[in-house]
Amino acid sequence: MSQITFTMFKPDAVVNGYAGKILNDITEAGFAIIAFKYTKLSPEMAGKFYAVHQERGFYNDLVSYMSSGPIYVAILQKVNAVADFRTLIGATDPSKAEAGTIRAKYAKSIEANAVHGSDSDENANIEANFFFTQFERF
């Protein structure tokens, strides 16, 4: 059974020109792109998206970073999408990410770490619904 996951190409990946390479890595790994757009988060939207982290010391920096520039957002479909995508992107801290993973290749720091990937099926649906209507999914 196919599942979905949700991803963002974060501001650092976009500004450094890695969006095309990341998209290629994702499709080469067997994910179907069922929704895709170029957008920019307001600080309010970034705060809502990362609300689970609001007690963490890095929250305010994360919100201003995630609203600092445009991003690409996408819904990806594949068998075992959530877990396989987390494997493809690697550890949160790119210095600890396995060689060949998206974060190892393209991320700058633990904060500016190139991509987001949902951490559960439930959150994948919540995050996909945050950005996309049913009319934007094919």
Task: Give me the catalytic one of 12, 41, 116, 131.
Answer: 116
Segment 71-130, which members bind ligand ATP (CB under 6 A)? 92, 110-111, 113, 116-117, 119
CB closer to Mg ion out of 7 and 67: 7
Taking CB under 5 A as the binding criterion, the range among 13-21, 62-70, 106-114, 119-127 that sits at the site for Mg ion is 119-127
47 binds, among ligand ATP, Mg ion, none (CB under 5 to 8 A by kind): none
113 binds, among Mg ion, ligand ATP, none (CB under 5 to 8 A by kind): ligand ATP
User: Where are the alpha helices (H) located in 1-138, listed in sequence order?
Assistant: 11-15, 19-28, 43-49, 59-66, 81-89, 102-106, 121-131
How many of the other CB atoms lie within 10 Å of CB of 52? Answer: 10
The CA distance from 49 to 43, in Å, is: 10
Q: What is the CA radius of gyration of the chain?
A: 14
Residue 117 three-state SS: strand
CB closer to ligand ATP out of 6 and 138: 6
- Are 74 and 35 within 8 A, CB to CB? yes
- 116 catalytic residue (yes or no): yes
Residue 66 three-state SS: helix
Which tokens go with 135?
Answer: 């009319």
CB closer to ligand ATP out of 111 and 121: 111
Write each residue from 78 to 117 as x if it is in contact with Mg ion (CB under 5 A), else as -, in one continuous string.
----------------------------------------
Catalytic residue positions, numbered = 116
